[in-house]
Amino acid sequence: MSEAKQPMKPLIATLKGVREKRPPVWFMRQAGRYLPEYRATRATTRGFLDLCYRSDLAAEVTLQPLRRYPFDAAIVFADILLVPHALGQSLAFAEGEGPKLDPIQDEAGIAKLNATGLLDRLAPVGETLSRVKGALQSGVALIGFAGSPWTVATYMVEGGGSTDQRAAKLWAYRDPKGFGRLIDVVTEATIEYLDFQAKAGAEVLQLFDSWAAMIPDPLFDAYVIAPTRRIVKALKERHPEVPIIGFPRGARNLTGYAEHTGVDALGLDTAVPVDHARTKLQTALPVQGNLDPYLLAAGGPALDREVDRIVEGLSHGPHVFNLGHGIIPETPPENVARVVARVKGHS
């Protein structure tokens, strides 16, 4: 007699279009500095990159929030800038200053990038995924992720984060072919990296386009939609069963992004109105979001009301409860417990 088929995990079912009795819940940056156990683990390392590349410790911090809260998913602990680092670009994280890279601003800089051995350098992430997969309780999904090419390229060109992505936009306007080659390099590396993550055990993949708000309309199709579509198409050919969430933070053309990239679900930032999400987006595909991380940190009755408003407002279609961006470090852990319990109380 064959074994009974296991029920689909709530997150995966929702991302495939099933409306669950209550939305599955996980949070971006659910493993991070707001947890004292994370800070204790981080203190044993030489720095952030060391933590990302030590698969035993990266698995530990990935699992820490699951020990506290009944999340429906774990997301592997890593960083979107591991891809340029694996391509050979220098990367360092200065405490309190964010990432620092040696800027790439011309063809000579692109020529220094080397995709040979990319997955060997990223092997610790695969080991982290394998370790976490073996430790998760049944019903909990495992999420892998990468930065989208536009966002990653802006860091590579700027040499770090910026408020306006000036250097990337100037290069894209002055030399679209040259900048397009950088986007191509990042796109192909991202395909291989996410394929590798799926093979290592990731059951869901998310693309973070954190700077999608900062790209003007003439560049949006070329550097956000087109490379995302290439990534999704390639991954669907290799892993058709793995849902892909696109998170174009701050993008104005969410409908076009959803329609033309082929993602299975759309991550919503905090600014997306619930009514708009329900009537214009959720009718086409599952949505994920979008509690304000600052309200999560503030807590109180306003937090309860907003959780209820989002859950009830998006209750008529497939919805994954999440934040509109990542948990901020000053968030009290008890506020996270409060929200997860409240979401799980809806049915």
Catalytic residues: 29, 33, 42, 79, 155
Is the CB of residue 180 less than 8 Å from the CB of residue 73? no
Is the CB of residue 327 less than 8 Å from the CB of residue 30? yes
What distance in Å separates the CA atoms of residue 171 and residue 39, rounded to the nearest whole number? 39
Which residues lie below 8 Å from residue 186, measured CB to CB, with a gap of 6+? Answer: 83, 84, 149, 152, 153, 156, 227
Distances (CA, A) of 211 to 122, 141, 150, 158, 344: 24, 27, 8, 13, 31
CB atoms within 10 A of CB 112: 11
Looking at residue 223, the DSSP 8-state letter turns out to be: I
What distance in Å separates the CA atoms of residue 71 and residue 216, rounded to the nearest whole number? 36
Look-up of token digits 């290069």: 171
Looking at residue 23, the DSSP 8-state letter turns out to be: -
Closest CA to 262 of 232, 221, 235: 232
DSSP calls for 270-299:
TTS-HHHIIIIITTTS-EEEEE-HHHHHH-
CB atoms within 10 A of CB 126: 20
Strand, helix or coil for residue 132: helix
